[in-house]
Amino acid sequence: MPGRFYFDHNATTPLSETVWEAMSAALKDEYGNASSIHHFGQMAKLRLETARRQVAGLLGASAKDVVFVSGGTEADNLALLGASRGGHLVTTSIEHPAVLACARRLNSTLVAPSPGGVVAPEDIKRALRPDTTLVSVMHANNETGVLQPIAEIAAICRAAGVLFHSDGVQAAGKVPVRAGDSGADLYSISAHKINGPKGAGALYVRPGVKLDAQIHGGRHERERRAGTENVPAMAGFGCAAEQQHDWNAIGELRDRLERGILRAVGDTVAHGANAPRLPNTSNIGFDGIQGEAMVIALDLRGFAVSSGSACSSGAVEPSHVLLAMGLAPDQARSSLRFSLGLGNTAAQVDSLIEAVADAASRLRRVSATYSHAG
């Protein structure tokens, strides 16, 4: 099959046509400063508040409880640094780097998941201390797609009088989310994970939660985040928040892909497959193959997938998520993430299975560590 096909939607998603139209209209027509009281400013303010209601609807929340920020990373930073208030933080070893980097700045305890990738609520409870002020557990893992039991964890936090934050960047728009009903006091989301623009995100803040601003200046966003709002980006965010995708169909494609690869390629394993997962995500380990080599081989065949992250030196680091789940470094380096979304088809999936099988066979023939060929 000629062409290029995208299977890396957990990294970012293509902008949908309706989102592009909403952003174009805002750029052209609502160019005023949303803080200005004249006609042009009020038109921009109207567009901004419409977007806020749309995003709040995605979260089952009230518009006044949504703080617009620049993305998921800022939302996580605002939640952790703004709500911990000098106390002890409990989080997990499988969080996104945006959370883990904040944890390093705070007095924190990291809780490990089970080998299946699930964080046990009782382990969170055991990590609480008298000085704990905040717990942060992601809703869905960005690498494995494993869903965490955030409602149970939130109940534990509520009983202990501790605030609960969840990074919902990968979950929102893929699984039903009602931030308030989940028990979350704070919940982070990002537009570019749901076919919206980069540079737009939001933090849900439960009424009554005290939040110290991390960006100072004007009185924007009810004094929780200073800076002139990016109205076109938020217009696109709002439009994306209202879009409906057939996640059951995408889940069927993910299962087709996963089953096909496991059948076609021996000595493989799907990480986290026995836990509840996002419908679009599969993380598969290939014995004896470097993940980066597989990414390059598939890219040459026209398929975009992902493996571990690269550090500043350019050297490939094993996934901290898979290491926390108990995998050895070589096993973590041999894993690929396939994440599906808008535009993927059964024909693309079948072609990807064929490409993976061919690449695996070729790479194993020259592998110094693979010894199971028969």
**Rounded Cα distance, 104 and 106, in Å:** 5
* Per-residue DSSP letter, 66: E
154-156-158-161 Cα dihedral, nearest 10 degrees = -130
* DSSP state letter for 288: T
Reduce the DSSP state of residue 110 to 3 states and report it: strand
**Cβ neighbourhood burial of 240 (10 Å; 0-12, 13-18, 19+):** buried
In angstroms, rounded to a whole number, what is the distance separating the alpha carbons of residues 43 and 60?
26
Integer Cα distance of 63 and 134 in angstroms: 24
Six token digits for residue 183 = 């028990």
3-state secondary structure 69-92: ECCHHHHHHHHHHHHCCCCEEEEE
Listed as own residue / partner, the contacts of 219-227 with beta carbons closer than 8 Å and 24 or more positions apart are 220/35, 221/67, 221/68, 222/64, 222/67, 224/67, 224/78, 224/82, 225/67, 225/68, 225/69, 225/78
Nearest CA to 325 out of 118, 170, 117, 132 is that of 117
- Residue 9 CA to residue 193 CA, distance in Å, equals 7
Among candidates 176, 170, 18, 47, which has minimal Cα distance to 99? 170
Could you give the residue numbers annotated as active site?
Answer: 311
Which tokens sit at 243? 């879009």
Cα–Cα dist 24/273, whole Å = 41
